Chain A
């Protein structure tokens, strides 16, 4: 009963470094999402995918790229990290709307110094 699994859970990057966050779900959900959470701003959508091989931009896509090569995985990449990307990142998955709501991972805390 893993649900949505995010790796890593914590990461510190230096400005300009790159990294990839992995999200894996085992619920056969079509839709997957990446959000970032910052204090006082709720969760803001970065990118999302409505099926294998598809991606779309959300509210705050700049500086991020994503890929959905397999239905169960959704990768979030930072090509050149900036301090403004310090945040907690959440992955979520769902059935097509109206579904039963989203299932969230436990988050990745990223610090860019």
Chain B
């Protein structure tokens, strides 16, 4: 069965600094990978997805993620964080007709 690990529960970065959120997955076949963002009291919004092809994928709000099969990772990055990026971020892997989520990383942005 597939699984996702997000090693960092909380991350704090300064506004304007770069960001990397880590995600490691376990899945036997070629994975379909996603990053979602959740603002407080809201549902989940899709940031980006990887199915195949180019291992660097671009998403909304200036986010990108890189798929590394050798490391079973799909880390999310942003070159310059804005205060509005403060939220909880979830990595997910799809397999067997369902999406399995990591526990999430809460991003705090300090001014």
- The chain A residues found within 8 Å of chain B, CB to CB, are 4, 31, 33, 35, 40-45, 48, 50, 56, 58-59, 90, 92, 96-98, 100-102, 104-107
Contacts and interface: CB of A to CB of B under 8 A. Distances in A.
Given A98-B32, A101-B46, A40 B97 contact: no
Interface SS of B by simple majority: strand
A42 B99 contact: no
A106 B42 contact: yes
A45 B97 CA distance: 11
Contacts of A105: 43
Nearest to B102: A42
Contact of B103 (A42, A56, A59, A98): A42
B61 interface: no
Contacts of A48: 97-98
8 contacts: A40-B9, A43-B44, A48-B98, A50-B97, A97-B97, A98-B94, A105-B43, A107-B42
Given A40-B9, A105-B43, A107-B43, A97 B101 contact: no
Nearest to B91: A42
A97 B104 contact: no
Interface of B: 4, 9, 32, 34, 36, 42-46, 49, 51, 90, 94, 97-104
B44 A90 contact: yes
A92 B83 CA distance: 28
- A-B pairs, 4 with minimum CB distance: A42-B101, A104-B43, A101-B46, A42-B103
Contact of A98 (B4, B9, B36, B51): B51
B43 A97 contact: no
